[in-house]
Amino acid sequence: MTKDECRAYLPDSWLPVLEADPVLWDIFSEHEYHLEEEAVPPFLIQELRGGHLEHLRPLLALYGEPGLELLQGLLEIDEAARDTAQLRLPNGQTAYAGYFFARFGREDQEKAVKTAKSYLRAVCRVYEEVFHEPSPVGPQAGVLLLTGQEARDMREKVHQAYVHGKPYLPDLQIHDEMGDWFADLPCRENCGELAGLFHEALYHISNDYFLSYCLQWPLTEHPDMENPFRPHFQLWKMGLTPQFFHHDQMALVDC
């Protein structure tokens, strides 16, 4: 991306910030493809992992407190995934993770179950207060913690349901309906351009829409409720993926 392309595809206020930071300028100047659709490099957050996300502070500060709340979420992700950024292979070479992920520790089991129950309540509240219809999953649903082969089997079960569209598991319904709802939320004043420009970069953190919705929540004009995606975010930081496979049962799947 040249300076002229920055002027064409990015807000006017961005170029002075990018030019003042050699790290950011190097990342943006090397970005060459699909500038009209993705003016912000889709793997921008990965480029700054490992303690370098503070480079985004002057840029996100242009959007006031909502932008700084977004930055705080990114810093939490970087910390949670600190130990998974690279892996030493048996042959002595080093492998680098393409996406962020955290590892589950058994010491977090009790905390994870409590967080999962908070997530159930948050989902039910959206259905009751916003959609005015019953939730696909009950507020008192049981919580299963799955690791190893059981986790792989559950991931495959849910994946196949997504691929074929059936059975229409609660997980699919919740992701479809809450995703559509979030997409329709208006943005706070001056935050629309940030949400639009950072959308792909936030999704590509972990290929997780709900994680990106949690990060973008401060940018929206949302109902008077706590961020319903925050428990999902907290579970992600513990290395767990929540999956709703039955009205009366949800699973926490070890990543």
Alpha-carbon torsion 184, 188, 189, 195, what sign? negative
Among candidate residues 135, 140, 131, the one with its CA nearest the CA of residue 123: 135
pTM of the model: 0.94
pLDDT tens, position by position, for the chain (255 residues)?
A: 999 999 999 999 999 999 999 999 999 999 998 899 999 999 999 999 999 999 999 999 999 999 999 999 999 999 999 998 887 778 888 888 889 999 999 999 999 999 999 999 999 999 999 999 999 999 899 999 999 999 999 999 888 988 988 888 999 999 999 999 999 999 998 899 999 999 999 999 999 999 999 999 999 999 899 999 999 999 999 999 999 999 999 999 997
Which parts of the chain fold into alpha helices (H)? 3-9, 14-20, 22-29, 44-47, 57-60, 64-80, 109-125, 148-164, 170-184, 192-203, 209-216, 230-237
